[in-house]
Structure 1
């Protein structure tokens, strides 16, 4: 006390303002305001309780240190401190009054091990916390082996947690058809707190080029998203085998936080491109083989305390095989849910029949366009835009009897109105002695409306069969079969005397046939005529089955535990219908649907089939060609078979994965789907797209623990339009999976076999990954077909050293 020195021996700790120091041994000189700290040594010679110094955002771990509280200066020996994504190691470190750290014999690395696997050897360096690290001459050291050729005259390492603008270094390489390239180089620019922007470019020596613009945005608790626009021009000056094209792609993902506004939501999932973009510019197997894309931007709004809701959307569906685009720009609806005006506000007591009378309102408008993508940006295209509107006000009452609960009677009265931008008119022209029907489209906005009364009657009895096992301690406790027949009838009377007439008839004499053709002015329009030409109705018949059993759990006792329910047959449904008001083909096809899930949903089987009750007959043309058509004659009358087969589809899926094991520390392995960003191509075990794109989670953690997974999907389908000889058969099996040889080695695969064509599918891919702690290695190969390619990639995990990498690849372009 006389010397004003305080000794803290054994888990010492000092706190002063924003300074916190913990160490096994601490000596505090109160007179000079200095602190000295050093760790301890146990009987085995191992160090423990080394000094851990914190000041604000700074944090140092060292062997020993001396620090002056008054001046802020300090000397630290054998220090390790975290700076941004990296770590600084130094034999001797001095801290000046401005908080700058001067180092001698320093190391900079992104490896978090006490003895790093690689680092940049820094002769001299200065670190400005939360800003940057500047050094003199520096060179790479890997596994304690110096590599002077990987040296720099000086070093600059950002250590700020803030985003900063900067150049993105491109990757380089060569392709046989497009030549040498610089790919993925450009500029990254933060745009305030919530937004950033990336501009990248690809350049090839034989004339091909591409530009990529991307932006990420996020406002916490409100919304987040990203947008990307790509444009690629492929050129080849050496031969004609490589396809020349100019393609674009626009992707946008927008998500609103549900807590931001519970009554309205804006979301977007846009994937819009020219038909050849992914085919000629992607390295991703899924994108290359994909033939369909869809995009949607939607806005929904509800009005609390009212029955009203509003919905607006813009939708696009692309067929990449034939370059067609179907768009609804925009499409909206305004609806009111059912209102019961005669119900009491108290809501108590049994409802009177008239209290079940309710009405609602439904409306919709659409702007529809169906074109090829090459015509999208031409002015004449938008002159063919089809637009329309429809609304309806149904008034309905549901009548149920307490005695016949399975019977429901629902009379209704509905007002329907439609508006279309055009309608059709058919006429007869005499050509070569024949009366040919000609259809003219008249571009005129018209409104049509009608009153449509109807009645529907539904009968839904339910039959349940139960088997109870009375044996002592049974494994199967009970089996239950539920069978539910369904029958319904709907009828709409002929209202042509009351409603306006939207139908007409033309006479024709063509190909040796005479007759009258009935049509509606709104056939093929966005919205059909609001009324029927005559009375209409149908009888629908159906039968559904469900089979389940209850079994005793494996570890269950006789008296304790809850039995488990096992689904034997999830469904077995038969449906058909009969329309007595049409002249021919009164019976519809018979549809069969069945499916089940076994082994706790690991194995799923589904089957659908269709059968026609009508026969087919041949027609011979004047040229002698024979074609077949369906005729209004029952198949049983001619062939003595009840139904004619038309379609079958069987699908089976098996999903297996190992149970969650334990890691070296005894904890459970994490589910990789919870740890890995599934949208990142680096994390997709079947992806071959390893071009760096800013904003992706580059070098993120991959689950290398022991669990394995495998998915097998089998599909068998037969489509028989008329004749057996014309049927189309699909018979394929696809399988994918991954497994870890060790906690550091992971292998993934995806392939399949086409039994009908007797060949392996082209997009067969294999990949091997090796976790090198602070580095990672990947090898990917597509060995078959025109998309044959391979890539080998080794890189540092930390994004700050994303350019510290080596890759070797052969592109599928070289196979063209």
Structure 2
């Protein structure tokens, strides 16, 4: 296809079936014809050049077309010698990289015999003492390039007789022992075969074509044909077939797979129709049909416009029926899913972008419609997020605009949060008083004053999946506009301190407010009335902050650390901030209201205060004055050690990447002036990242009249002689290691540099080795015999085969401690601990055998998490894989043996069990 066109097709139409289905479905084959370029150059002489010296080296010549009955001169060249007969018969013998050129036809071979009288040429290769042929003829014309053992070609009639021709048709090959080429460039072959295996001499499988005609770039028409696997003919044949060989895509039927499940019965699955609409987009409609009336329908489409955009869209609707009608366990579920991904090319427009990432489905879709190979990450996913975004940047101005549609789903409790639209206008930070042309003078303090602005409009709704369509707009939707204007100044104080005073102003626009009252019948506070209309709610605050850094250097004790550790450095970054916010609960603002009611349980009058904008989209200004001092300190610790590779140099090793503490004190609060203390940290030990954190409370606990625990305005030190009480803690780390990491560690320990050593292809991953699969040797498999010529690259110095065992293991652990039940006697919370460990890995006994696994364990529930085992084997042009889920709700297996080529992706055998047949699935 033209390189400027868009290649978005997925290969639904290139399929072959060895059964009788092939008779019908072969009408929809689609094979691209590959062009092979020739890089050799031809030196030519003028038309009157007839005779060349005997045994001359690197000579060339040409024949005069006059009187020969051909349209143009025939040019020829050879590396070793050109021998011309002297008896007037006009025969030329070319030896050594011989080449003959006529019009748009080029023929190369080790030896070429050219008869100018009869316009015939005969080309063939040469064999060495071991019978290995080299310099085989390659014939190239406008229809393509072909390799063969021998060819006899007539320039005048444009016909040829060929022995053992190999033509590449897209991902497949047509090979024939004998073929006849017609003037229209078509081939008539006998006892040929079609296969995607590139081992032409002994393909692992092929479709034997007893008689066939190949029309390059159009189609291949064959008579009786049958399937051959490992040189064993199978009793699977067809009377005839038509295989399209066009370079463009075509529409066609997608044949379904069939099978049986114990729960849903017999089925036809993934059958449908593929529509190659154009070079810009395509579409596939597939469906499933089960004997118990379960069914499913899917639509998939890809689109692409070069230098503009690309994307894909997938829609699914599936109905699952369980058990039989009138039985107590009968159930019927209807699930849908929409996936849309749209990407704009970065070159399309530098000032505006449009993108989409939609993953929306019914809450039970992932659980009810598992695939053959179950993805544990997908099953553990409880939240789905979708977004459609448009952004616009205005050049030569600080303004930016964005519009979004956002959706979030919680599949566990079926809650959906939808925001449409979400509009944002921002003004980047500007310095309104900064002079454009400063001459000589220092920058004044007021020139450092910065200003920015953000406006956001949102319309949102949170509801359960089943009630989402019943919510009315705008009464039950939350909407509003928020304006934020931060003003700040950055100053240097006493050379080592940075002082940042700031003012923050926030204004909210709402369309309604609420009024609450006590409902005596229900015995609770309810919303009595909603007042619609424009509502303006604003607040502001003042703050000033400062920060600095302290550096401390330690010289370690030499008797303990020796001279290897040079210095240990501790960096402490303290910061403090002072902020003030007025009491926006004052009656003059009108943001809050109150009422009194009699509570018979307490036998008292209760004063209930509430916000008129409770539950509003952007919240309500805070109630009560706030004058807070915020304190935080950050720490890092690293040491400077001598490098093992450089005797004069040093390297830095981080002992503690971060250790942070933060808290605040509200001077104007009536009680509980200190906030909780937060701690977080990160370090790395033996290449493993460790993250930890905790929350501490400095106040004691008591109970209310109803027995509920509550913080009281008494310090924990005064009540229990303790500084703080731990409320929560967390720890997590991930560890990954493998053969490559151990190899690099050994090289560093031994002082060797692997980059300076000669690269050994046997050490490379499979995808980085030679392109020819025959050069990737299976050290323990029977493919070793097929690659005798490459054995020396896999031998060690003693002549033994090198054995590589690449492997990788990843381990992730998480620990969480939180408050559990409250113990009234001890006046403390019981601690609740949850932890789990997950691991996965893979290893390869040979480059063609690969084993992978993933599993885990939850210590809280004391159960094994989703486990998946996979074994795969590369069988050259075939692939084999076995997936097993041995335990749990999704217990199942899946075995498949298939052709690797996408052209014959449906030439396969699979055997599976459905997770739905597991009694614990429902």
Which of 422-431 and 541-550 deviates more? Answer: 422-431
* Contact 2:471 2:477 survives alignment (8 Å): no
Give 1:546 deviation, angstroms.
Answer: 0.8
Paired residue for 2:884, among 773, 781, 795? 781
Deviations 1:607-643 (A, max 9, x none): 111111122223454xxxx432333322222121111
Aligned mate of 2:734, from 632, 643, 653: 653
Per the TM alignment, residue 437 of structure 1 is displaced from its structure 2 partner at its CA by 4.5
Name the CA shift for 1:142/1:275 in 2 (closer, same or farther; >3 Å): same
Structure-2 separation of matches of 1:126 and 1:466: 85
- Rounded to whole Å, the distance in 1 between the matches of 2:302 and 2:885 is 32
Aligned to 2:468: 376
Match of 1:180 in 2: 266
1:631 to 690, 700, 712: 712
Residues 407 and 498 of structure 1: CA distance in aligned 2, closer, same or farther (over 3 Å): farther
Structure 2 match to 1:693: none
The aligned residue for residue 143 of structure 1 is 230
Measured at CA, do residues 564 and 100 of structure 1 come closer, stay the same or move farther in structure 2, by a change above 3 Å?
farther
Asked if 1:709 is matched to 2:794, the reply is no
Q: How does 1:297-376 map to 2 (within 5 A)?
A: 297-346=388-437, 349-376=441-468
Higher relative contact order (CA 8 A, sep 6+): 2
- Does residue 452 in structure 1 map to residue 551 in structure 2? no
| CA distance, structure 2, for counterparts of residue 734 and residue 721 of structure 1 | 25
CA–CA separation in structure 1 for the residues paired with 2:222 and 2:814: 62
Closer/same/farther in 2, CA of residues 416 and 477 from structure 1, 3 Å limit: same
Mapped contact 1:663–1:705 kept (Cα < 8 A): no
State the partner residue of 1:575: 662
Residue 793 of structure 1 corresponds to 896
Label 1:499 to 1:449 Cα distance change in 2 as closer, same or farther (>3 A).
farther
Work out whether residues 294 and 316 of structure 1, in 8 Å CA contact, stay in contact via their aligned partners in 2. Answer: yes
CA distance in 1, matches of 2:470, 2:121: 77
Structure-2 separation of matches of 1:620 and 1:497: 29
Determine the C-alpha separation between the residues in 1 that align with 2:409 and 2:585. 41
Structure 2 Cα separation of the partners of residues 267 and 617 of structure 1: 53
Deviations 1:83-138 (A, max 9, x none): 01100110111221222221111010010112211101110011121232221111
Q: Which moved more, 1:442-451 or 1:350-359?
A: 442-451
Q: Which residue of 1 aligns with 2:122?
A: 36
Whole-Å separation in 2 of the counterparts to 1:579 and 1:526: 27
What displacement does 1:28 show? Answer: 3.2
Structure 1 residues 234-254: Cα deviation after superposition (integer angstroms, max 9, x where no partner): 113435546420010011111
Given that 1:612 and 1:644 are in contact with CA atoms closer than 8 Å, whether structure 2 keeps it comes out as yes
Summarize deviations over 1:681-717 as a string: whole Å, max 9, x none.
xxxxxxxxxxxxxxxxxxxxxxx99532211111111
Cα contact 1:419–1:447 (8 A) shared by 2: yes
Corresponding residue to 1:731 among 817, 821, 835: 835
1:582 partner SS: coil
- Give the distance between the partners of 2:408 and 2:401, measured in 1 at CA: 23
Query: Which residue in the other structure is 1:700 paired with?
Result: none
Q: Does 1:640 align with 2:731?
A: no
CA contact (8 A) 1:332 1:364 kept: yes
* 3-state SS of 1:659 partner: helix
Distance in structure 1 (CA, Å) of the matches to 2:105 and 2:467? 68
**Which moves more between the two structures, 45-54 or 31-40?**
31-40
CA distance in 2 between counterparts of 1:635 and 1:26 reads 101
Equivalences for 1:179-258 in 2 at 5 Å?
179-238=265-324, 240-241=328-329, 243-258=331-346
> How far 1:494 moved relative to its partner?
5.5
Between 317-326 and 27-36, report the one with greater CA deviation: 27-36
CA distance in 2: counterparts of 1:484 and 1:465, whole angstroms: 15
> Deviation of residue 451 (structure 1)?
6.5
**Partner SS, residue 244 of structure 1:** strand
- Give the drift of 1:489: 1.1
Whole-angstrom CA distance in 1 between matches of 2:330 and 2:112: 73
| Kept in 1: contact 2:696–2:728 (CA 8 A) | yes
Matches within 5 A, 1:149-160: 149-160=235-246
Long gaps (5+) in structure 2: 1-49, 51-87, 744-757, 772-802, 823-827
- Of residues 118-127 and 289-298 in structure 1, the stretch that sits farther from structure 2 once superposed is 289-298
Moved more, 733-742 or 602-611: 602-611
Contact 2:585 2:592 in 1 (8 A): no
Task: Give the distance between the partners of 2:914 and 2:473, measured in 1 at CA.
Answer: 38
Change (3 A) 1:274 1:30: same
Per the alignment, do residues 534 and 645 of structure 1 end up closer, same or farther by CA in structure 2, a change over 3 Å counting? closer
1:546 and 2:636 are equivalent in the alignment: yes
| In 2: Cα distance, 1:499 partner to 1:267 partner | 46
The 1:406/1:517 distance shift into structure 2, 3 A limit, reads farther
Alpha-carbon distance in structure 1 between the residues aligned to 2:193 and 2:531: 77
Residue 483 of structure 1: how far off its partner (Å):
1.4
Q: Write the deviation string for residues 556-615 of structure 1: whole angstroms up to 9, x where unpaired.
A: 1324xx64332221111111111223333222111111121244xx41111111111122
What is the CA deviation profile of residues 648-691 of structure 1, one whole-angstrom value per residue up to 9, with x for unaligned ones?
Answer: 1111110123329999845732679xx9xxxxxxxxxxxxxxxx
Contact in 1 for aligned 2:488/2:500 (Cα 8 Å): no
Tell me the residue number matched to 2:784.
none
Corresponding residue for 2:652? 565
Residue of structure 1 aligned with 2:358, choices 270, 292, 304? 270
Distance 2:257 2:263 in 1: 18
Cα distance in 2 for residues equivalent to 1:671 and 1:637: 67
- What is the number of residues matched between the two proteins? 770
The answer on whether the counterparts of 2:551 and 2:569 sit within 8 Å (CA) in structure 1 is no
Q: Distance in 2 between matches of 1:649 and 1:441?
A: 44
Query: Quick one: distance in 2 between partners of 1:725 and 1:503?
Result: 34
- 1:489 corresponds, among 578, 587, 593, to 578
Distance 1:514 1:566 in 2: 65
Distance 2:445 2:863 in 1: 66
Structure 1 pair 261–552 and aligned structure 2 pair: CA distance change class (3 A): farther
Larger radius of gyration: 2
The reply to whether residue 505 of structure 1 matches residue 594 of structure 2 is yes
Q: Which moved more, 1:609-618 or 1:783-792?
A: 609-618
| Superposed counterparts of 1:594-609, under 5 Å | 594-599=681-686, 602-609=687-694
Q: Is the 8 A contact 1:316 1:326 kept in 2?
A: yes
Structure 2 CA distance for aligned equivalents of residues 400 and 646 of structure 1: 39
The question of whether the paired residues in 1 share the 8 Å contact of 2:567 and 2:641 is answered with yes
Distance 1:281 1:94, change over 3 A: same
Shift of 1:541: 1.1
Find 2:868's aligned residue among 765, 769, 775.
Answer: 765
Alpha-carbon distance in structure 2 between the residues aligned to 1:473 and 1:22: 73
SS at match of 2:667: coil
Query: CA 1:627 to 1:418, structure 2 compared with 1: closer, same or farther past 3 Å?
Result: closer
Tell me: CA distance 1:716–1:452, structure 2 relative to 1, closer, same or farther (3 Å).
closer
For 1:63, the equivalent position in structure 2 comes to 149
Structure 1 position 813 matched with structure 2 position 909: no
What SS does structure 2 have at the residue aligned with 1:458? strand
Deviation at 1:49, TM superposition (A): 1.0
Report the equivalent of 2:217: 130
Distance 1:343 1:771, change over 3 A: same
Contact 1:136-1:154 within 8 A present in 2 as well: yes
1:680 alignment partner in structure 2 = none
Correspondence for 2:97:
11
Q: Which TM-score applies when normalising by structure 2?
A: 0.79
- Give the Cα separation in 1 of the matches to 2:625 and 2:829: 40
Q: Is the 8 A contact 1:473 1:558 kept in 2?
A: no
Mapped to 1, the partners of 2:155 and 2:550 lie a distance apart of 84
TM-score (norm: length of structure 1): 0.88
Q: Distance in 2 between matches of 1:451 and 1:289?
A: 42
Residue 162 of structure 1: how far off its partner (Å): 1.8
